[in-house]
Each structure stands twice: as structure tokens, then as C-alpha cells.
Structure 1
Amino acid sequence: MKIKDVKTFVVGNPPPGFGGRYFVFIKLITDNGIEGLGEVYNLPFHPDVVAQMVKDVVERYVVGKEPFDIEKIWRSVYGGGFIHRPDTTMMGILSAIEMACWDIVGKDLNKPVYKLLGGQVHEALRSYTYIYPKPGDKTDVYADPVLAAERAQEYIAMGFTAVKFDPAGPYTVYDGRQLSLTELDRSERFCKLLREAVGSKADLLFGTHGQMTAAGAIRLAKRLEKYDPLWLEEPIPPDNQKEMGKVARGTSIPVAAGERLTTKWEFLRVLEEGAAAILQMNLGRVGGILEGKKIASMAEAYHVQIAPHLYCGPVVGAANVQLATCSPNFLIQESILDWKGFHSEILTKGIEWQDGYIIPPTAPGLGVELNEAVALANPYVGNALHLDMTHTPARV
């Protein structure tokens, strides 16, 4: 069996747009008709450019190869073009190719991918969601702690046992910085009201996006410690793990990080510096499922847990489920609410979610299939990127 072709799908994510403005899916096609599904996460280019990049890489390194030879394909792409380093653009493309190969392998063997990577450890996967706005909201749930606390109670009633929120203010290309007193006060008030609302029924996950310096993050953490968050997420930019280690040692709140990192080599520095207690690899960027498994295994040796990141489409979500199911040190999985809405419509069968937990699929491969009719009916027509940052300095 050889890979002979690739299809790409640039899909606009209709309102409310949770998970990003668009998704980039790929299908690898073999000479015996098996198709493998993958997803690229958040490259800093227009998605039509990303689709062309995918085609070029597949034609250059993957066509004619056996999908079972994942390590060989991985190394060819990783080192191709004399790169041979954790380049986020190439690794996003490689991640999609790699998970598509695993989808083919699982289908050919009639096994879920997790059965091929050590077998099933978890019967159900604890999940969390961001606190999202709803139609009819009179204020901004991202900035109003009273409304956020009410929304958190709604999510607990659905079955969630953890909720995430990010009240620390804008993230900019000039970060890290010291948060303003207003941002510090708002962040503390969010934690206070949310803890009062949920009590011990749910963990609080304090999300940030690298806004702070290490000193600024410790300053914030001192205010939040009394509300016992499960984690403080990516408190400083992702480019200096030694500084992140200062934050980890300066607070009792576990540090979580990794959505902007890629490959085992970048995560090794996190572990060596003691920079995080929870690793948040995104399988659409980190290098795919096997690379995620290697990182999870390294983390296991450090007694560090994993919480796969997801702010994209459901194919990365499905890959995350495969990794989480076979990883002993899995902690919790990010969900886009309960996987309803467009994250379900874009698949012929959605990811199964019950009372706060994801149920691992028994279908072969990734366990999901793209609804091509829905994908083609929702092309992305904008010019904005999947995610972006503010390009002017934050005013303190």
C-alpha cells in the first residue's frame, strides 16, 4: 500500500466560530482506496497558502511512501529542505500528514490508533471547556466575572468538572509585560467569583497567552493562590523555558504550557527546567500523534501530566482523544463545549461526549470521518488568520 495523492479542505468556521476562524483538513489517499484524515493547526499564513504548502510537501516527500513507515516519513519531512529543527510551519504540515498516516494504518488493521500505541488505559476522558459567550448576553463574558460565574454554573450542570477563562487582558506581539492593576484586580475577581460559584465541584483553569514576564506572572499568581486554580497557563511567552521555570518555582499553582511548542526537543527543555507540571501539546502542531506519545512518555518519567490543547477543529480533537486514551499520565482534555454545533456537523459522526467526559471511539483509525459536503459548502472567504495577537503595545 502506497500513498498516491492528497486532498485539502479550507473550511470556514461559521458563527459563533468557537475553535478559530477556519480549519485546514487534509486527506491522504492510498493506491488501494483508504483515505486518512489530518488537520493543520494555526500557521501564520492564509489557509489557502497553507493548503498549497501541504500539497507541495506531500508531493515532495510522501507520495509513493508506505503509510506504515511513519518514522521514515516524519524524518524526511522534518529534515527536508535543510531545516532539521522545530519549525512551526513545517511541523504543522507534518502533524496533519502524520495523523493522516495513523488514520490509514488504523483503518487497514481495523483498530483504533490507541490500540496500536500501547492500548486503552482510560475508559473515559475528563474534559473542560472555555467559558464562552451566548446569544442574548448583555455583557462580555470574557470581561464580566459575574456573568462568567453564572456560565460556569451552567457548564457544571452539563457535567463539566473544570472550566477555563482568560481575564488577564490582551496578548500582544510586545509581551511579556507587567499587568496593570486593573488587569490584576479583574483577574483576582474572576477567580474569587468563580470559586464562590462552583465551590469544590469544578477546577478553575486560569488561561493566559504569554502576556507576562516571569516577575509579573509571580505577582499575579500570589493573588490567585488562595482560590486554588488547577493551573496557570502559559504565563510568559513560549521562547524562554528557564524564565518559565522561575514562575513554576515561584507559585504553588501548577504551570501548564505547550500549545505553541513543537517536537520532543522543545518539550525536553520544559521538563529539564521544571517549567511546567502539565504539558499542553497540540497534535496539529507538535509533530503528530507519535511525537505526542513520545513527549507524554518523557513527561511520565518526570511525573508531569498531559492535557492536550485544542482550539481548532475536531480532527485534532480526535487525534488528541487517541493519545489521551493510551497515556497513563493524561490529566484532562480541552473540548469546544460538548462537541455539538459545527464541530459535529463537519463530521459524519461526531466525537462522543457524556456528562463531562469524552468516550474513546471503537471505530478504526482516528474514529471520525470528514463530511466533505459540509466542508465544501463552508469555504473560508476571509483574509484574517486563524488566531492573531494585538500589534500595538498594551497600555498599563
Structure 2
Amino acid sequence: MKITGLRVTPVAVPDPPLRNSWGVHAPYMLRNIIELDTDEGITGLSEAPGGAAQLSELQGAANAIIGEDPLYLERLRLKLRDRTRAFAAIEVACWDAIGRWLNRPVYDLLGGKVRQQVPFASYLFFKYQGDNDPWGEVNDPQSMVRLARQFRDTYGFKTIKVKGGVLPPDEEIETMRLLRQAFPGDRLRLDPNAVWSVETSIRVCTALADINMEYMEDPTWGIHGMAAVARHTNIPLSTNMCVTTFDHFGPAIESKAVQVILCDHHYWEGFSGCKRLAAVCESFHLGLSMHSNNHLGISMAAMVHLAASTPQLIYACDTHYPWQQEDVIKGGKLQFKDGMMSPPDGPGLGVEIDHDRLTALNENFRRLGSLSRDDTAEMQKRDPFYLPLRPRW
């Protein structure tokens, strides 16, 4: 089997105004949908983050992979070693093509299922009211508890992650304490995206020491800052920001900066990179969780296949999927049951593109005329003086 072509279709998908420390999500989120064609008539699917840089990287990688065997993933990785995000997307499409060729689901190719269902977390945001938005405005601790109940009632999630770094720290402390009162048996996480100083991070962790937090994600910036916080709290610290390549492990482990690493196949060199990451975490007795950014059903399927076949992944996975009302896959959105999702059992990733929906969402992209997402610029439409300060508090 040889690769004969790579088609990349950028799409723009409606997105609610979710807040974070950079600002607020724009009305549309951007993704790239990948179709990898082969001489066997098999097409492998993948999905990647949107934006001008990722689109250019994928388009630039297309010529480099023509004529290559999708089974020769190490060769492809080395050919694309300077385009790691492009490789990550292409690698997933290769796995999908291989699974279709062998008539086996991707989780079988990754070592087989170690769990029948993958647990996911409620990924909750402070937010503004959006158009046709069923979730409403969330601007204080009480409305965050309401949102958590909506997610519990709709999806059954039993882990709650709050995107913090938005309200003043004392209000986010109150938010977590109210969530603990409302959901005494749930696992709780808070992620302020490194917007707090070391001193503020220590103060917040001290204030939340008695509510049994599962972990605190990236309270402050950098390995040295995280290590300083870790010395003053028993709450495990996790990261998706200060350990983002294998080169970061040495200083992070030596300084005892983190206890949990978040994987993401979009950024950690695909499935094979995440498997290597899992092995490193196992070797150094670090926990492994899963990161999420905005995504559609192809990435959702990929995440579930990876999580179902990775024994080291012991935490409920993050996902933005409930926030997206649109999708590009046939049959509608993949479904959660009791806070979990089973990997599709069909060949490869087990999903197919709905080309009518793909065309419509590509038209959104063309009409939008924007090649990048800028949360700060979007926030400045509401507050002209807003800046993404680090630290903010």
C-alpha cells in the first residue's frame, strides 16, 4: 500500500464564547480535516487543529509523503521530524488506513483494549451567553455549579474540570468549594493556565487542601515555578504547558515539578508519541491524563481508541466535544453514556466523513476569511484594555 495523496480541508465550526486566561473563544473554531489516499483505494481520516500555521505545515508535508508506505511510520516520522504536528495528523490517518486495510479497529493495532469504555470529564468554562447557546452565561461560582449539574444530567460525567484563571482567585476558590459541596463524590480539577504567580498558586492550593482535589493543572508558569508550588502543597500538580516535549522530562523530574502529564496525540507526535510518553510516565511513576482542545468527531474517535488501548491512562480524559453542536462525521455526533464512551468497532477509527457537512463547514471557513484563532482579540471587542497577563494574580 502506498500513499497517493493528502487532502486537507479547513473548516470553521460554531463555538460558544468560552472564557480562558487568554480571552474568549471566537464565534467559530477552526479545524483541518485530513483525507490520506492510497493506491489500494483506501482513504485514511484524521483531524488536526486549525489555523494558518497548521494548514501550511500540512500542505507542505503532502509532497514529502507521496509514494511512502503508511505502515512505515518511523520512516514518515523522520521525514517529517521538523513538522511534528503535521506528522501527528498524518500518522493518525495512516493508522486509520491500516485498520481499514486489515479490517481491524485501531485499538487492536495499538495493542488491544484494556478497558471497554473510556471515562471523560466535564470540561467546564466560565462563559458569556452565546447565540443559540443551551448553557447560558456562567460568570460566578453559583452559575458554575448550575453548569456542572447540566453536564452531569446530560452526559453523566463524574469528574469535573474547571477552566480557571478567569475570575479573581478567591472567587475560583469559592467555585471549587461549592462544587465539592454539590458533588461530594466527584473528582475535581482546576486549570488556570499558568496565570497565577507562585505565591498565589500556593495560597490557592492551601485554601483547597481540604476538598480532596484530584489535581491542580498548571497553576503557574514553567518548570521552576511549578516546582516551587509543589514544595508547598500535597495536591498533585499536572501539566500540559511546562512538559510538552521529551526534553522537558529531565528538569521536571529532577525538580519534582509535576506528578501528572497530559498527553494529546495532536501535539505529542500522534498515537506512537503518546505511547512513548505513557512508557516514560510509567518509568518515572508519573500519572498520565489526556488533554483536549476544540475538536470534532474524527479526533474524538481517535482519542477514544488511544485511551482504550493505553493502560497507563488512569484519569478521566478531557474533552471539548460536548461544546460543539456540529460535526463532520456520518450518523451524527458520537455519544457518551454514563460519562463514558466506547471506541467505535468498525475498521480503522470507525467513523466516516459526511461530505455534505464537510462542504458546509468549509464554506463557513471561506466566508469567515480568518486563518487563525485569537482569543485576546475577541476579548478586546468586549474589553478594549484586556491583555493576557502572566501572572495576572
Structure 1-normalised TM-score? Answer: 0.83
For residue 299 of structure 1, report the CA deviation from its aligned partner: 0.9
Matched, 1:67 2:70: yes
Matched, 1:291 2:276: no
Q: Gaps (5+ residues) in structure 2?
A: 19-24, 377-385
Rounded to whole Å, the distance in 1 between the matches of 2:228 and 2:336 is 37
Rounded to whole Å, the distance in 2 between the matches of 1:268 and 1:320 is 27
1:241-277 Cα shifts (integer Å, max 9, x gaps): 2432332332121212126754433456544543322
- In structure 2, the partner of 1:193 is 178
Rounded to whole Å, the distance in 2 between the matches of 1:260 and 1:372 is 38
1:63-102 correspondence runs (5 A): 63-78=66-81, 80=82, 90-102=83-95
Percent identity over the alignment is 26
Q: Choose the corresponding residue for 1:53, options 36, 54, 57.
A: 57
Rounded to whole Å, the distance in 1 between the matches of 2:157 and 2:57 is 38
Matched, 1:122 2:115: yes
For residue 166 of structure 1, report the CA deviation from its aligned partner: 2.5
Rounded to whole Å, the distance in 2 between the matches of 1:268 and 1:327 is 23
Rounded to whole Å, the distance in 1 between the matches of 2:311 and 2:9 is 34
Contact 1:258–1:267 (Cα < 8 Å) also in 2: no
- In structure 2, the partner of 1:176 is none
Distance 1:357 1:227, change over 3 A: same
Rounded to whole Å, the distance in 2 between the matches of 1:17 and 1:101 is 34
Matched, 1:348 2:325: no
- In structure 1, the partner of 2:199 is 215
- In structure 2, the partner of 1:151 is 147
Contact 1:259–1:280 (Cα < 8 Å) also in 2: no
For residue 54 of structure 1, report the CA deviation from its aligned partner: 1.0
Contact 1:91–1:262 (Cα < 8 Å) also in 2: no
Contact 2:205–2:235 (Cα < 8 Å) also in 1: yes
- In structure 2, the partner of 1:385 is 372
For residue 387 of structure 1, report the CA deviation from its aligned partner: 5.3
Distance 1:152 1:138, change over 3 A: closer
- In structure 2, the partner of 1:173 is none
Q: How many residues align?
A: 363
Contact 2:29–2:373 (Cα < 8 Å) also in 1: yes
Distance 1:27 1:327, change over 3 A: same
Matched, 1:229 2:213: yes
Structure 2-normalised TM-score? Answer: 0.84
Rounded to whole Å, the distance in 1 between the matches of 2:116 and 2:251 is 31
Rounded to whole Å, the distance in 1 between the matches of 2:62 and 2:172 is 45
1:222-371 correspondence runs (5 A): 222-237=206-221, 240-258=222-240, 262-267=244-249, 269-314=251-296, 315-330=298-313, 331-336=315-320, 338=322, 341-342=325-326, 345-349=327-331, 350-371=333-354
Distance 1:137 1:55, change over 3 A: closer
- In structure 1, the partner of 2:10 is 10
Distance 1:211 1:319, change over 3 A: same
Give the counterpart letter for 2:307 in structure 1: A
Q: Secondary structure at the match of 2:210?
A: helix
Q: Secondary structure at the match of 2:290?
A: coil
Rounded to whole Å, the distance in 2 between the matches of 1:299 and 1:335 is 21
